[in-house]
Amino acid sequence: MNQIPVLSEKDIRLRCGVQSLERGRGYFQNGALADTRRQGSTLRARCTGTAEAPYRVWVAFHSHGIASARCSCPIGHTGTCKHVSALLVNWLEQPEDFPPTEELHQSIERRAKGELVALLTHIFQRYPDLEDLLTLPVPGAESPPTIDPIAYRRQAATVFAEHGEDWTATSAIADGLQSLVDLADRFRDEGNLAAAAVVYREVAGEIIARFRQARYGEDALGEVVDRCLAGLVAGLAGSSTERGASLDALHAIYRANLTSGSSFNLGRGSVARILTER
């Protein structure tokens, strides 16, 4: 679905609240939004806020209205912040500011192998920390890859290290971790449930462990853990081997919660319910 339904000011107010709407309108009027574009049924932009770098903002739509929204600001995981409001106000008042652009997968698929090699080389030269991603087994291989748990745990740790040890970085950290969970979901969709279980376990485990070291916001990272648990529940419907891998991962997440020494409950109650019901 590439059509974005008609949006009203009331829709923005109901989603984001009166205060967020008014602040977002101010951001829009002051020219805080840049790189506005439309990818299918998703609007994207960067919004200048209080941080040194602009926040990344996106809003996805379905046939009935707003499906989901996100911002890289400290409270952006709710999808109701003033930066999201600013993007929606911009779309409402000046939709011509959002030229249609290719979706990422389309842009990648149309490129020849030589182009992709050159592009990836340029990306890794510009962002050398990303080179570690080459060590990750990923979905789409001709034969099922061997999954190295340490590689995924290390990538999750790198996401935390890139953004600091403070609750204001939580949303950006959650976005980075969500991309790892996306890989796990793709393994699951390909039918490689055992590989998916490893990734879910390592990402959730690193999140829980980090609560012993620093102060992060619970909600955004809790959402990532919940996604991991949902993926593991899907694995319980697989073969005996895949079911065993998912059960082992669920037990590992439960034990990590118990031994973390943290007052947070990142999925512990959900795991207990899942194991009891199953």
Domain end residue (candidates: 50, 75, 97)? 97
Q: In the chain, what percentage of residues exceed pLDDT 90?
A: 48
110-127 confidence digits (pLDDT tens): 888 898 889 888 888 887
111 assigned to some structural domain? no
Tell me the C-alpha distance between 60 and 64, whole Å.
Answer: 11
72 assigned to some structural domain? yes
143 assigned to some structural domain? yes
**Enclosing domain of residue 93:** 9-97
The total number of residues shown for the chain amounts to 278
Residues forming a β-bridge with 228: none
Residue 164 and residue 269 share a domain: yes
75-102 confidence digits (pLDDT tens): 888 899 999 999 999 999 999 999 999 8
What lies within 8 Å, CB to CB, of 202 at 6+ separation is 149, 152, 153, 156
199-220 confidence digits (pLDDT tens): 999 999 999 988 766 778 788 8
Residue 82 and residue 25 share a domain: yes
Residue 184 and residue 88 share a domain: no
Tell me the C-alpha distance between 207 and 205, whole Å.
Answer: 5
Domain count, the chain: 2
Q: What is the pLDDT of residue 262?
A: 58
Tell me the C-alpha distance between 247 and 241, whole Å.
Answer: 10
Residue 173 and residue 246 share a domain: yes
Domain end residue (candidates: 43, 71, 97)? 97
Tell me the C-alpha distance between 267 and 278, whole Å.
Answer: 16
Please name the residue that has the structure tokens 């950290």.
173
Average pLDDT over residues 7-15: 93
Secondary element (H or E) of residue 85: helix 82-93
Residue 273 and residue 143 share a domain: yes
Residue 206 and residue 153 share a domain: yes
Burial class of residue 25 (count of CB atoms within 10 Å of its CB; 0-12, 13-18, 19+): buried
User: What's the pTM?
Assistant: 0.76
Residue 175 and residue 264 share a domain: yes
Q: What is the dihedral of CA 168, 9, 46, 154, to 10 degrees?
A: 50
Residue 148 and residue 26 share a domain: no
Tell me the C-alpha distance between 198 and 16, whole Å.
Answer: 36
213 assigned to some structural domain? yes
Residue 231 and residue 165 share a domain: yes
Q: Compute CA distances 181 → 50, 68, 115, 184, 201, whole Å.
A: 29, 17, 27, 5, 10
113 assigned to some structural domain? no
Residue 236 and residue 148 share a domain: yes
Please name the residue that has the structure tokens 């490893």.
198
Secondary element (H or E) of residue 35: strand 33-39
